[in-house]
Amino acid sequence: MRSLILTTATRYLLPLMLLFSVFILLRGHHHPGGGFIGGLVASAAFALYGFAYGMPEARRVLLVDPLRLIGIGLLTAVSSGLLAPIVTQQPFLAPIWGENSYPALGKLGTPLMFDIGVYLTVIGVTLLIILTLAEEDIGPEEDVH
């Protein structure tokens, strides 16, 4: 049985929580926050949606398979680390910063790219665990003699 209060609240909380997770992500390379915490907040938003509307509906709203998110996130994080040796002959994961500064973001660079990779990986791993456990069909225990 679905709760009217939970489904109504979740409809408004999902976009707010996702917006807050992006805020935490973007603020992370200058202040506390970053990809890990932002990814956990985004995962919590989709998990809440799954509890309110059912896990198949949460998978539909997610639009991307969690395994694919893990792969894209890992590829993004590793790519950010490989840019320094390729472009500037510096060690792996050395930061490369852009020239321009943007309002509310500051200078963009490879640390933000790494944080985005972590963000996507955390969302993928967390939702893979949550959705798999929530969708597990638990049948009656078999009598083993």
pLDDT in tens, 35-46: 999 999 999 999
Paired sense of beta strands 97-102 and 106-109, if any: antiparallel
Contact status, residue 69 vs residue 123, Cβ threshold 8 Å: yes
* Residue of 135 and 110 predicted with greater confidence: 110
CA 88/CA 123 separation, integer angstroms: 31
**Residues 84-112: what's their mean pLDDT?**
85
CA distance 40 to 42: 5
Confidence (pLDDT) at 109? 86
Is residue 102 in some structural domain? yes
Domain assignment of residue 141, yes or no: no
Q: Are 75 and 120 in contact (CB under 8 A)?
A: no
**pLDDT for the residue numbered 76:** 96
Distance, in Å, from the CA atom of 138 to the CA atom of 42, rounded to the nearest integer, reads 27
Domain presence at residue 142: no
Q: Is the pLDDT of residue 137 over 80?
A: no
How far does the chain reach from its first CA to its final CA, in angstroms?
36
Locate tokens 């996702």: which residue? 18
Q: What is the model's pLDDT at position 22? A: 94
Nearest partner of 39 among 27, 21, 23, 51, judged by Cα: 21
For 21-34, what is the mean pLDDT? 84
Domain that holds residue 51: 4-135
Distance (Å) of CA 127 to CA 2, 11, 14, 107, 144: 21, 19, 15, 31, 33
Give residue 32's pLDDT. Answer: 75
Is residue 143 domain-resident? Answer: no
72 versus 88: which is more confidently predicted?
72
pTM listed for this prediction: 0.87
Whether 54 maps to a domain, the answer reads: yes
Q: Calculate the average pLDDT of the chain.
A: 89
Q: Does some domain include residue 140?
A: no
Q: How many domains does the chain have?
A: 1
